[in-house]
Chain A
């Protein structure tokens, strides 16, 4: 078997070498995608166009505004003088957020009353709106603490509950809440999936279309020898992809890699086997490269969207959550993020690794079985 396998491999590499554009096609789109993905994929709200209507014009109101500006996340685009102007800002997309400080704000605070602060948010982008509201909660908590901090000594009153419960927050694994740390490891898995599935599916279907597959199948080669010969090169290409994209993530985007290289390698290998199995399976359902392409389009997009890459699986309806069980990318994303950011090992990740191994086994077995039949 080794002889047949080795001539298969030699043939594959020769063909790859002959294809002068192969390396270009494999690498350049990958690099462009990582860079664009890396910069474009962000849910972080860096700046919120904000309109402010300060009807109080007091020390306290100016202090509050400076609290907002100090965070650097609120761009004051308009200091309005009327409620109408404020409304117009929101209506015409000039501002996403409007803050109204009512007349008497300062006085309320001075008198120890609770001062209302009206906030209008354009909820069109619910996510941006939610995050902006979260920022406001944090700023107000800070503002209140500062106020009480320097006002307390001068005031008399009941000694009882001053601030109530204070929330101390800690963010683990990604202290700076940089969401590239979340997306870039996801990009590694996603791009590998996209590339390897289509490469594998096309390679086999092309041999079928050209007729060389038939010529090979009349030789005494076993289906698994053929499949191994076809997939080992893509396995190596896939590992190369993962290494390249990881390197860009670590060196260019400064994503920390705190875990074990070996766990990563194991995870990547199992993932690639599952993905190769998928590509092979698609190829057994396609007679022509066109059909392979259509199938690829039909299946890869769901695997990408429903992987937890950007959209939490927990928020999906149950029937889609069940679908994600057969998605190798889902498990790989858990592994790769955990290895990059958490540094956990096999003790924690074994269920995900085991699921990938199971999927790889199933898909490869089914495709070898189907492959025999597909010549009929």
Chain B
């Protein structure tokens, strides 16, 4: 291997990237756009869930209960209903994800028998929102009851119920506020790097084939390894730039807590970039048309990365065969690594398993890419 030939390659490639506005736009604009879109768009937080209230009693007590539901800002009342038909209608139109029905004799029943039902109806079309809202509604009611019983105790000097109740005292670690952004943004960074990185390099060899410069190139004494190193070098720098941009905006713009060390972050990111750029390069070596290469790069990155990397859909909850497939979805390792570095402050030894995964990938790809590049025209 001759380092001068590598640099000659790298210099030429840098000039070409610089003079090709489309590539440059993909390289620099894409991460910004995707970061804004995914960073803001991909949120599982339960905010402003439309709530309908059918308060048949409309007493002070019933209004107090409704108040409990709306106070923290998870739900906002979209409609106040006045009949069963209204309720059905609003649910059909999807105008409320949850409806609370308070019966007409609510406060009287509560006062006389010590217990009274209220009804919570969910539009379970969106199961995730329903699940979270359901848990939240249970919690709200439990809280209300605890408060009532505390007041009772204060008034009567004894606990109200014949048997003690259990109070759940949850404490949340690593992502204390349970903000979905803290969970999703590190994943978004991984996804963006995976998508943009593969696009960047996927065109680099096929472009030479299409423009006919490849014939010229392979008539020189340059070796396969030199071509690869030279071609990947500028993209590697762009990739680092993109990674830096994404990571900085994750911390300073999206306020994701960063508890790990920069060193760990740098080492793992470099390893991931090698894999990502290598995949693009490999595709590019195998497929001689730019369009084909670009399409394949998208096909093997976009949907698998979006769906199977665990950045939104937890891998642990998938059926076993799908979990097995995710082993080859390389961004999943980086998603795990980034999350752990950001939220748990993990160091390299803690991350040995995903690092091993990435490392194996890097080796296989480099091996395949150097083997696949033949200095022949046919």
Do A and B pair up? The answer is: yes
Chain A residue with Cβ nearest B122: A171
Evaluate whether A177 and B116 lie within 8 angstroms (CB atoms) in the complex, with A40-B313, A117-B168, A129-B175 already known: no
Contacts of B312 in A (CB 8 A): 310-311
Q: Find chain B residues with CB under 8 A from A41 CB.
A: 307, 313
Are B178's CB and A129's CB within 8 A? yes
**Residues in B neighbouring A72, C-beta threshold 8 A:** none
Please encode chain A, from 146 to 188, with 1 for each CB lying within 8 Å of some chain B CB and 0 for all others. Answer: 0110011001011111111111111111110111011000000
Q: Which of A127, A136, A165, A174 contacts B144 (CB 8 A)?
A: A165
Q: Is the CB of A316 within 8 A of B135?
A: no
Contact B44 A36 (CB under 8 A): no
Let me know if B152 is at the binding interface, CB within 8 A. yes
The reply to whether B167 and A168 contact each other, CB–CB distance below 8 Å, is no
Contacting residue for A121 out of B26, B43, B122, B172, CB 8 A: B172
Per the bound structure, the CA–CA distance linking A293 and B176 in Å amounts to 42
Q: Show 29 A/B contacts (Cβ-Cβ < 8 Å), sorted by A.
A: A36-B322, A45-B314, A47-B316, A112-B158, A115-B164, A117-B167, A122-B174, A124-B343, A125-B183, A126-B45, A131-B131, A155-B163, A158-B158, A159-B114, A160-B160, A161-B115, A164-B148, A166-B115, A167-B117, A172-B124, A174-B124, A175-B124, A293-B295, A294-B294, A297-B302, A301-B37, A310-B312, A315-B45, A320-B40
- A residues contacting B by CB (< 8 A) are 29, 33, 36-37, 39-47, 49, 64, 90-92, 108-131, 133-138, 140-141, 143-144, 147-148, 151-152, 155, 157-175, 177-179, 181-182, 289-291, 293-294, 297-298, 301-302, 305-306, 310-312, 314-317, 320, 334, 337-338, 341-342, 344, 348
Given A136-B168, A182-B128, residue A39 in contact with residue B318 (CB < 8 A): yes
CB distance from A336 to the nearest CB of B (A): 11
What is the count of residue pairs linking A and B with beta-carbon distances less than 8 angstroms?
Answer: 361
Asked if A165 and B145 sit within 8 Å, CB to CB, the answer is: yes
Assess whether B5 is interfacial by the CB under 8 Å rule: no
- In the complex, what residues of A have CB within 8 A of residue B303's CB? 33, 36
A135 to chain B, nearest CB (A): 7
Contacts of A311 in B (CB 8 A): 41-44, 312
Q: Does B91 contact A (CB under 8 A)?
A: yes
B160 touches A306 (CB 8 A): no
- The CA of A73 and the CA of B33, in the complex, are separated in Å by 39
Please measure, in the bound complex, the distance between the C-alpha atom of A302 and the C-alpha atom of B168, giving whole angstroms. 40
Which of B47-55, B240-248, B366-374 faces chain A?
A: B47-55
Apart from A40-B308, A161-B161, 7 more pairs, CB < 8 Å: A64-B166, A119-B169, A144-B166, A152-B162, A164-B148, A175-B124, A298-B33
Min C-beta distance of A233 to chain B, whole Å:
20
Partner of A42, one of B22, B159, B317: B317
Q: Which of A92, A294, A301, A314 has the most CB of B within 10 A?
A: A314
Query: Does B172 contact A123, Cβ atoms closer than 8 Å?
Result: yes
| Interface, chain B (partner A; CB < 8 A) | 22, 26, 30, 33-34, 37-38, 40-50, 65, 91-94, 110, 113-132, 134-139, 141-142, 144-146, 148-149, 152, 156, 158-180, 182-183, 199, 290-291, 294-295, 298-299, 302-303, 307-308, 312-314, 316-319, 321-322, 325, 339, 343-344, 350
Closest to B38 in A: A305
Complexed CA–CA distance, A224 and B114 (Å): 72
Q: How far is the CB of B44 from chain A (nearest CB, A)?
A: 5
Q: Give A117 to B118 CA distance when docked, in angstroms.
A: 26
Q: Is the CB of A137 within 8 A of B131?
A: no
Contacts of B119 in A (CB 8 A): 167-170
* Chain A residues with CB below 8 A from B344, complex form: 91, 124
Chain A residues lying within 8 Å of B183, measured Cβ to Cβ, are 123-127
Query: Which residues of chain B are near A164, meaning CB under 8 Å?
Result: 110, 114-115, 141, 144-145, 148-149
Q: Is the CB of B128 within 8 A of A127?
A: yes
A158 near B160: Cβ-Cβ < 8 Å: yes
Tell me, in angstroms, the Cα distance from A168 to B120 when the chains sit together.
Answer: 6
